[in-house]
Every structure is written in structure tokens, then in C-alpha cells.
Amino acid sequence: MDAQLKKGALPLCILFIIRQEARYGYEIIGEVRAVFPDVYDGSIYTVLRRLAADGYARTELRDEPSGGPTRKYYAITPEGLAYLEQLRRSWHEMQERLNRLGV
Amino acid sequence: MKQSEYLRRLEAALEQRLGPEETADVLRDQRELIADAVAQGQTEQEAVARMGDPEALAQELAGAPRQMEQASLGRRLAAYALDTLPVVLAALMGLLLFQAGGVTGISTLTGGVDAPGEDGPIVEQKLEYDRDGQLASMTLTVDGEIIFLQRYPDRAEADKALANRGLSLEDIDVTTEVRPMELMRWDVPWALAGLWLMAGFLALGVSGLFTGLVSGLAGGYTLGRWALGIRVAGRDGERPGLGRCLLRDTVILCVAGCLSGGIVNLISLCMAGSGQGLHDRAAGTVVIRVPRRARR
């Protein structure tokens, strides 16, 4: 699949995955990889990090119960929810337009 | 690749692009992700391979090149002056020493004249002049043998000595004139200017070596650049490394310095009617023509 298209879709996927509850890095990467198996974990991590830096997600370090590892959880922010809606609309509009063209 | 090597390379690549806090945070995240992958049954190698290339990841994380403010010309020149000042001072000292010793010393200027003399003996005349420009002594040699030597000579007697050998003034192959060095009035400034220029170019080269080494080891800083708050960086703001610094400062400046010094000298040579370049003026030498048979 075209790398540019995939890159463009990653923020939408990630925000969608965390829209309801906070998830930790490997969980998110695992879900994205289930759909895009040929994307590097590092690339997904980069997008995740950028979403946090742009304020669409907030991060929190949590110690897992019973002496488990410390993990960074990513939760969506109100800005992130608005951005997710915007991305979804853009995506549907894109689909519609391409359908109209008969692609 | 093992996790340790991956993290080490990632850290090195990140340090050039991100701040220390962000670098530490990324490394923490990466450890967590690899540990989780391993916990899910992947090998360490697999987990690292799926991360991708550490340098590429660092580049992705850094995103667009950091906004860099280019240093102003004033700062660059000031830093350059600070860095070259010691060398320039040393050159200046040499110049003063030269001036003190060079003007009072008496040197000789030699000039050569060649005349046809393919056959027969080599006839040489040596003319020494005094400070008033009078011919103080004349020596005539035929194949190295002195046939005439006189102080404040009588020309007619010299002609007679030549005639005894069946020769005339026409047969003189080489003339050497020796006079007390009279740097003409405009010669002193020329020599000084030449020395000054060459000292300057030398300073360029020497300080180039110095700044190349220092900035290579200190991540683009020299003392002068540090004081002025500027540094040399790669296009993405990364540390330039020893090789690039040596190439930039030492090789280029040295070569440019030597070349431009040579060009200045060449120009001075072309401008000087007597054939004395800056280096000749400074050393009191001249390049003379030597006939084929007189070459040793």
C-alpha cells in the first residue's frame, strides 16, 4: 500500500483506538499492526508521540498492578476528539468523492 | 541487532536532534515497547527489527529540521578574529623582527647578463659597486681562472687583459653585479606588505588547523565561537564531527590560504619590472638567466 496514504491514515487510526479509554503503547501499536502489518513499530510510535505533543492525546505513566512494569498510557483529549471527528469526516468525504469519480 | 546496540544508536541519533529530556523520554518509551513485545513472545531481535532503523526513527521523531537561526556576519567575523588573534599577533612579532633586522643589513643583489658564447671559454665578469654607485672592483675570469682583478679599475686595462687572451668585451658570457643592498624607497613597503600578506595567509592556515581540530572535538565550537554564541552545525543542526570540521576549516582554509598567497605573489611578480616577486623583495634575491654552458 502506498506509504503516503498509510501515513495519512495513522493519526486517524490511533485516535480511533484510544477514543474511549486510555491504552498503552504496545497495545495501540499491536492494533494498528493488525490492520497495517507492514508499518514499522517505530513509525507508529512517532505518530503517537506527535499526537501527544500536539495536545490531541495526553500521556500518563502508570505502574501495572502486582509489581508489573511501568507503562505510558495515552488518553484522548477534547481537542483530540474534535480532531478525530474532523479526520473521520475528511476520510468519508474523500471516499465519497473517489466513489463519485468511479475509482 | 541487539536491544542495547539499537538503543545506543538511537540515543546517538537523537542527541543531535532533540533535547536531553526528550531523548531520555523516547528511550524510556522504546524500552517499554521492546519489553512488552518480548513479553508477548517475540525475540529481542524481532522486536528491535520491527522498530525499524534507529537513525530513520530519530529523523522521523525530529520531524522538520529544527528552526535554526543563522549567525550574523558580525558575530562570525568577531569569533574568527578571536580565534586567529594569537596567530596574527605572532605574525606581527615576526614582522617587527624582520623590519628591525632587514633594513639595516647589507645584502647583495645579483644580476646576470648572457651573451652569445657557444664556443670558446666561459668569460665571467664580476662587478662590485660601492655605496655611491662607483665601480669598486672588477674581476674577470676565463673558465674560472682570474685574469684580471682590480679595485676601482681602469677599463682600458681590463680591455687589455682580455685582448691578451684574444677576447673582447663582446665575449663576456656572465656578468655578476654586486652592490650594497639598496632597497629602493618603495621596496621596503613592498617587502613588508608581502610579508604581512604571507603572514596573514599562514595565519589562516595555522588557525584553520587549530579551529578544525578544536571544533571537531567540541561539536562545532571554538573558543571564539563559544564566546560569541555561535557554532558550526550540519544542515539539521547536528554536531559536525571531526572529519567535517577538519575538511571545512583546515583543508579548505589551508588550501585557499596557500593558493591566494601564491596568486598574490604571482600578481606581484607580474607587476614588478625587475622580476622580483614579493618573496624576492623580502629576501633580497632575484632570478637570473644562466647560459647553457655556464650551468653547474
Virtual CA dihedral for B192, B196, B201, B205, nearest 10 degrees?
120
Residue B273's pLDDT is: 55
Q: Name every chain B residue with its beta carbon within 8 A of the beta carbon of A72.
A: 28-29, 32
Residue of A nearest to B53 (CA): A42
Specify the pLDDT at position B92: 67
pLDDT tens per residue across all 296 residues of chain B: 889 999 999 999 888 788 788 899 999 999 999 999 999 899 999 999 999 889 888 888 887 555 567 778 888 888 888 887 776 677 666 666 655 444 333 334 444 444 444 567 888 888 888 777 788 889 898 888 888 998 888 888 888 888 888 888 877 877 887 776 554 444 566 666 666 666 666 666 677 777 888 888 887 888 888 888 888 877 666 778 888 888 887 777 667 766 666 676 677 666 665 556 666 666 666 666 677 776 66
Say if CB B257 and CB B208 are below 8 A apart.
Answer: yes
Q: Side by side, which strands form the sheet with A23-24?
A: A23-24, A70-76, A57-63
Rounded to whole angstroms, how far apart are CA atoms A71 and B33? 9
User: Inter-chain contact A41–B29, Cβ cutoff 8 Å?
Assistant: no
With beta carbons less than 8 A apart as the criterion, state whether B83 and B211 touch.
yes
pLDDT by residue (tens digit) across A29-50?
999 999 998 888 999 999 999 9
Task: Assign residue A76 the CATH number of its domain.
Answer: 1.10.10.10
The confidence score (pLDDT) of residue B33 equals 93
Q: Alpha helices, DSSP H only, in chain A?
A: 3-17, 25-35, 41-53, 78-101
Contact (CB<8Å) A70/B63: no
Picking from B33, B61, B63, the nearest residue to A25 by CB comes out as B33
Contact at CB, A71 and B32, closer than 8 angstroms: yes
> From the CA of B232, how many Å to the nearest CA of chain A?
28
Host domain of residue A52 = 3-101
Q: What's the structural domain count of chain A? A: 1
Q: What is the mean pLDDT of chain A?
A: 91
Is pLDDT at A99 greater than 70 in this prediction? yes
Q: Which helix (H) or strand (E) holds B140?
A: strand B135-142
Question: What's the pLDDT tens digit per position in A46-70?
Answer: 999 999 988 999 999 998 888 788 9
Extents of the domains making up chain B: 3-62, 71-107+184-289, 123-178
**pLDDT score of B25:** 92
List, as ranges, residues 26-65 from A with C-beta within 8 Å of B.
26, 29-30, 40-43, 45-46, 49-50
Cα(B82)–Cα(B74) distance, integer angstroms: 12
**What is the per-residue pLDDT for B224?**
84
- Sign, CA dihedral B173-B179-B183-B184, equals negative
